[in-house]
Amino acid sequence: MLSAKKRPINKAEMRANVEGFMNERKSNKKLVQKYFHADHVRYAA
């Protein structure tokens, strides 16, 4: 899980954190849909 509380020590840890975050988003369609409901991106939905 991506967390702002702990900074990654190296590039590999940062990549693992980001990939974990993106995999969580990919597996939850409701979270992804929320990105497209804001007024400034609604045209793209």
Residue 36, domain member (yes or no): yes
Q: With CA atoms as reference, report the closest residue to 34 among 45, 23, 19.
A: 45
Domain-located, residue 28 = yes
Four-residue CA torsion sign, 29, 26, 40, 17: positive
Query: Does residue 24 form part of some domain?
Result: yes
Mean local confidence (pLDDT), 4-13: 86
Higher pLDDT among residues 31 and 43, named by residue: 31
Structural domain containing residue 37? 11-44
27 within domain boundaries? yes
Residue 1 located in a structural domain: no
pLDDT of residue 3: 55
Is 29 a domain residue?
Answer: yes
Q: Could you tell me the two tokens for 33? A: 């849909």
Domains: count for the chain: 1
Q: What is the pLDDT of residues 12-40, one digit of tens each?
A: 999 999 999 899 999 998 988 888 887 77
The pTM score is 0.58
